[in-house]
Amino acid sequence: MIDFQHILTSINEAASNEKDKGKIADYIPELAKVNVDNFGIHLIDIQQNNFSAGKSDEKFSIQSISKVLSLSMALGLIGEKVWKRVDVEPSGDPFNHLSLLELENGIPRNPLINPGAIVIADILVSKLEHPKEEFLSYVQNIANDDTIAYDLGVAKSEKRTGFRNFAAANLLKSYGNLNNDVDIVLDFYFHQCSLAMNCVQLTNTFFMFMNNGKCRRNNTLLTISQVKRINAIMLTCGFYDEAGEFAFEVGLPGKSGVGGGIVAFLPNKFCVATWSPGLNPKGNSKLGMLALEKLTTETELSIF
C-alpha cells in the first residue's frame, strides 16, 4: 500500500527548500502579480481518496490546461470531424510559434498548441448558442463543482497583450480554417484560458480522463476511444517542446499551463495536480516538473 500522504508531504518540503523556483509568466500582467514561492499538490486515487500538501486549495489561472477541456467538449459535439481541422502530431516548437502553421497550410500540428486550441475554440463558437456560459457549465459538470469560474481580470489582461494569438487567428482565417469572426473566437479563447481552479478542483476535473471517460458524478462523457486519443495527445503534446522530457522523466499523460499548474494521471490509478507559478525556460512549472518526477520515482508508478 502506497503512503501517498507521506510522499506529498516530502515533495512539498523539497519544493519549499528549492532555491531556484523558476520565472513567473510576466508577459500576462495579471499573472505577474503571483508570488513565486507558492506551491501546492493534490492527488485523488481511483477510489476517490484525497491527499494534499502545500497550497492545494489556492486558486490560479489554469491557462493552457483548459485546452484539453475544450478539445473534449468539441469531440463530444462533432466527434471525428475535429481531426479534419487539426492534426495530432507533436510540434517540437514553443506553444505560441506560428512558423509551422504557414508551412502546413493552416492546419495546426495539434490541438494543445495555441493555433490548434484557437481552431477548437472556433468549433465551439460555431456549435454553442452561448459559448462562454456553456463551456463553463460543461467544466463545472465534469468537476461536480459550480464554484469554478473565469478570472475576468486575467481574460482582459490576455486580450490586451495577446498579439501572437491575434496573429495566429488571422493566419488561420487566411487559410480558411476559422469560420467565425476573429474577435469573437479570441474572446471565447481568452475566457477559456482564464479559468481559475485550485489543485483539488483540477484533479476533480481531470478525474474522467483517468477513469475511462466517467466523471466524478459517474456520468460517461467520453467514449473509451475518445479518452484514449485525448490521453495520447496529452502524453505527446501536453508540454509543448518539453513533452519528450516529461514522458522520459515522469512517464504520465498530462498538461501544463503558464499559470504554473500541471495536471497528470495514471489511468485507473490516480490523478495529481501541482501548482508552482515559477516556470522553466520551456514554459512549464519548474517545481511542478520536479514534484511529479519525484512522485513517479518514489511510487514506481507510471504508464511505462
- 126-172 per-position pLDDT tens digit: 999 999 999 999 999 999 999 999 999 999 999 999 999 999 999 99
- φ/ψ of 108, rounded to 5, equals -60, 145
240, 276, 286, 294: the active-site residue? 240
pLDDT band at 102 (very low <50, low <70, confident <90, very high): confident
Which residue would you say has higher pLDDT here, 100 or 6? 6
Q: Is 17 a residue whose pLDDT tops 70?
A: yes
The predicted structure's pLDDT at residue 54:
98
Average pLDDT value for residue range 39-50: 97
pLDDT tops 90 at residue 97: no
| pLDDT beyond 80 at 92 | no
Query: Taking 70 as the threshold, does the pLDDT of residue 94 lie above it?
Result: no
Reply yes or no on whether the pLDDT at 101 is more than 90: no
> 209 pLDDT band (50/70/90 cuts)?
very high
Q: Is 64 annotated as a binding residue?
A: yes
Catalytic residue among 86, 154, 189, 263: 189
The confidence band for 96, taking pLDDT boundaries of 50, 70 and 90, is low
Residue-wise pLDDT for 180-207, tens only, equals 999 999 999 999 999 999 999 999 999 9
Query: Average model confidence (pLDDT) for the chain?
Result: 95
Residue 95 has pLDDT above 90, yes or no: no
Q: Considering only residues 238 and 26, tell me which one the structure prediction assigns the higher pLDDT.
A: 238
Catalytic residue among 64, 66, 194, 276: 64
Structure-block grid coordinates of residue 55:
497550497
Amino acid at 161: T
Residue with more model confidence, 168 or 28? 168
pLDDT tens digits, 54-70 = 999 999 999 999 999 99
Identified catalytic residue from 21, 55, 59, 67: 67
Told to judge if 189 belongs to the known catalytic residues of this protein, a careful annotator would answer yes
Other CB atoms within 10 Å distance of the CB of residue 163: 9
Domains belonging to the chain, first-starting first, are 4-299 (3.40.710.10)
User: What is the DSSP track for 242-288?
Assistant: GHHHHHHHT-S-EEE-TTSEEEEEETTTEEEEEE---B-TTSSBHHH
- 247-275 burial by CB neighbour count: b if 16+ within 10 A, else e? bebbbbbbbbbbbbbbbbbbbeebbbbbb
Residue 68 appears among annotated catalytic residues: no
* Known catalytic membership, residue 64: yes
114 is in an annotated binding site: yes
Residue 240 marked ligand-binding: yes
Task: Quote the pTM value.
Answer: 0.96
Residue-level pLDDT at 1:
86
Q: Is 198 annotated for ligand binding? A: no
